[in-house]
Amino acid sequence: MSPAALSTVTHRLSFVDSHSAGEPTRVVLGGFPELPGETLAQQREALTGDFDRWRTLVNLEPRGNDVLVSALLLPPKQPDCVTGVIYFNNAGPLGMCGHGTMGVVATLAYLGRIGPGDHRIETPVGVVTATLHGDGRVSVANVPAFRHLQDVAVTVEGLGEVRGDVAWGGNWFYLVDVGARALTMGDLPDLTDETLRIRQALQAAGITGKDGAEIDHIELFSHAGGVQRNFVMCPGGAYDRSPCGTGTSAKLACLAADGRLEPGQIWRQESVIGSVFEGQYSLHAGQVHPVITGRAFVTMQGELLVQPGDPFAWGIRP
C-alpha cells in the first residue's frame, strides 16, 4: 500500500472527554452529519434510524466503550440556549443525562465558550439550566421529576419477589430499596446480574413508565451505615460510576412523594464507587424540580479517525 493510502482518513470527529464523579462523557464537537428534524426530539429519533451507525462509531469499541455516554452538540432550536445536546450510549439515545450535562458544561468552560453563571441547554426532553460555579462545580436544574407507580411487585428469576417504585427523572427508573445491604465494588458482578434480571422481569411483566415507556434504568439504593448509596444499571448493561443525575432526580421525586425530604433540603447521594452528587428540589405548581450538583473534569481531547477499509469503522456491533 502506498504511504498516501496509509495516511488517508475518510471521517474525522472532534471530541473532548471528561468524567463526572467517575462516569465518562464524550462531547462530540464536529464531524457528525447533520441530523434531520424540526425538534431535538425528532433529531434524536433520526439517530435510531439511518444515522445510528454514527452513534456506534463514536460510542462503541474500538473508539468508545460500554461505559461511555456521548453528548452530541447541536445548534439549539431555542435561541436563549447555549447549545442543544443529544445524549447517547452503547444501547441508543438517552432522554437526559445529569452527569453528561456536567461534562458538557465542563467541556464548554474548558474550551472558553462559557464562564461561571447560568446556562440553558436544550435536550430532547426539555430545557435544563446548568450553573457553573466559581469553584468548578456544576448544578443541573433538571426537567421535572415524578413518581409514576409506587411499590410495584415483580417476580425475578433467582431473586423471587422484588418491590420498587417507577419514577421519571429525565429517564425511566425502577428504584429498589435494598435496606442496609452494603453496595460495594466487590459486589459488582452480583449487582450487575441482579439488576439485569430485574429489568428483564419488568419487561416480561409489561411494567412500564408512563404511556408504555420502557423502564431502561434500574436503581438499587441502600442506607448501610447511614450513607445513602446507589447502584444504577444503565440501558446498555454498564453500571453508572456516578450517582446518576437522572437517577438521583427520580429518587428525589420518590422522597418528595413520601414526605421524606423537604424542598431545599440537601440529599447526599453516593455512588457504588463512593463518588457523590448533592441533590435538592423545589416545588412549582406541584411539580418536583430537581437540582443536582457535582463536578466534572476534562480528561482527553482529540479526533476520532476512520480510514478506508476499516472493518470496525462503525463500531463492534452485536
Restricted to residues 11-40, the positions that interact with ligand PYC (CB under 6 A) are 23
Q: Are 187 and 145 in contact (CB under 8 A)?
A: no
Whether omega for the bond prior to residue 62 falls within 30 degrees of 0, making it cis, is yes
240 binds ligand PYC (CB under 6 A): yes
- From CA 26, how far away is CA 82, in angstroms rounded? 18
99 binds ligand PYC (CB under 6 A): yes
245 binds ligand PYC (CB under 6 A): yes
59 binds ligand PYC (CB under 6 A): no
Longest pairwise C-alpha distance within the chain: 70
Smallest separation, CB 109 to ligand PYC (Å): 18
Q: How many CA atoms lie within 13 A of 16 on its CB side?
A: 18
147 binds ligand PYC (CB under 6 A): no
Restricted to residues 178-237, the positions that interact with ligand PYC (CB under 6 A) are 234
- From CA 86, how far away is CA 81, in angstroms rounded? 14
Catalytic residue among 81, 97, 234, 254: 97
Whose grid coordinates read 469499541? 61
- From CA 129, how far away is CA 204, in angstroms rounded? 37
103 binds ligand PYC (CB under 6 A): no
Q: Any catalytic annotation for residue 244?
A: yes
Smallest separation, CB 75 to ligand PYC (Å): 23
279 binds ligand PYC (CB under 6 A): no
- Region for residue 105 given its phi and psi (left: phi exceeds 0; alpha: psi -120 to 50; beta: otherwise): alpha
Residue from 125, 220, 244, 273 in contact with ligand PYC (CB under 6 A): 244
Q: Which of 212, 165, 174 is nearest to 194 (CA)?
A: 174
Q: Any catalytic annotation for residue 81?
A: no
Residue from 72, 97, 162, 201 in contact with ligand PYC (CB under 6 A): 97
Residue 250 cell numbers, joined? 427520580
Residues in the site for ligand PYC, rule: CB under 6 A?
23, 69, 97-99, 171, 234, 240, 242, 244-246
- By annotation, the residues acting in catalysis are 97, 244
